[in-house]
Amino acid sequence: MSNIAKALTGVWIAGVIAVAFLWLPPAQGFRSPEAARIVVFHVPCAILTFVAFLLNAAYSWGYLRTREPLTDAKANIAAELGMLFAVLATVTGSLFALEQWGSAWNWDPRETSIVMLMLVYAAYFVLRGAVEERTKRARLSAAYALLAFPAMVFLIWILPRIVESLHPSNTLFSRSGLDPMYRLTLWSFFAGLLAVFVWMFRLRLRVEIAETRLRQQMSREPETTLTGAKR
């Protein structure tokens, strides 16, 4: 990402935040119409969580096909970012739930499924910590990610059928669901957040590549890199 794109992202998100508070009207029909603005920030985080989860599964599949170490690194990064956005979505959702439904946690199906998603990520990281050898770790964690994927799809798909949800369904794309001004602000924020996601992803990948290069240099010429590290 060029510096111009980064600066644009910064201004864009700041602008959307300002718009969400100053231009967006309070949402009628909620218990506290002013607080409903948080939806604009909460929903994009939740969407990005699932995007990251899909990315993780896709990269895991890619790793098993190609056995390319960088693809494994990408799968791991997608899981890390997914965890981050899952936490953000849960915190913003909890705040709004406290305001709207009177309790921060209701075991709503969506709440349950995001907790389960976090559990999958946590298990994934535990597995990665439990295997020493690099290629083996990559192989096993990719296999686990692909096993957890259908389970999560099932969970997201069946849970709302069993338990009633407090969350509205089908508001994002249907014409009648969400106020057009809200929808516009929400997707604008999503665009900004997606840019941040891409930026973070590439930063993290560069760290991974730099680490690999450092390790290679260390194994090649131990003395020079040691003095280099001291500098």
Partner 1 sequence: MNPLFVYMLTPLLIWAGIFGYLFWLDMRLRSLEKRLDEGGHS
Partner 2 sequence: MSRSSGWAREAIAVFAKDWLVELRTRVALGAVVLFAFTSVVASGFALEPPSGVPAEVKASLLWVILFFAAVAGLSRVFVVEEETRTADALRLTVSPAGVFVGKLAFNTVLMCLLCAVTVPLYLLLLEAPVRHWNLFVVVVVLGSMALACATTAVGAIVAKATTRGALFGVLAFPVALPPLLVAIHATKAAWVSENGWRVATGDLQVLTGFMLVIVPASLLVFEHIWSE
Q: Which residues between 4 and 33 bind partner 1 (CB under 8 A)?
A: 6, 9-10, 13-14, 17-18, 20-22
Rounded Cα distance between 51 and 187, Å, is 15
Instruction: State yes or no: residue 95 binds partner 1 (CB under 8 A).
Output: no
Instruction: State yes or no: residue 191 binds partner 2 (CB under 8 A).
Output: no
Q: What residues have CB less than 8 Å from 60, skipping those under 6 apart?
A: 75, 141, 142, 143, 145, 146
- Please report how close the Cβ of residue 13 comes to partner 2 at its closest, in angstroms: 32
Instruction: State yes or no: residue 224 binds partner 1 (CB under 8 A).
Output: yes
What b/e readout covers 71-101, taking b as 16+ CB neighbours within 10 angstroms? bbbbbbbbbbbbbbbbebbbebbbebbebbe
Q: Pick from 15, 26, 150, 177: which binds partner 2 (CB under 8 A)?
A: 150
The gap from C-alpha 227 to its chain's centroid, in whole angstroms, comes to 39
Nearest to 160 by CA among 116, 119, 93, 110: 110
| Closer residue to partner 1 in complex, CB, 93/109 | 93
Instruction: State yes or no: residue 64 binds partner 2 (CB under 8 A).
Output: yes
Pick one of partner 2, partner 1, none as the site partner of residue 154 (Cβ within 5 to 8 A by kind): partner 2
What binding mask, one character per residue, do residues 189-208 give for partner 1 by CB under 8 A, x or -?
Answer: -------x--xx--x--xx-
Neighbour tally for 148: CB within 10 Å: 22
Residues that bind partner 2 (CB under 8 A): 64, 116, 119-120, 122-123, 126-127, 130-133, 136, 139-140, 142-144, 146-152, 154-155, 158-159, 161-162
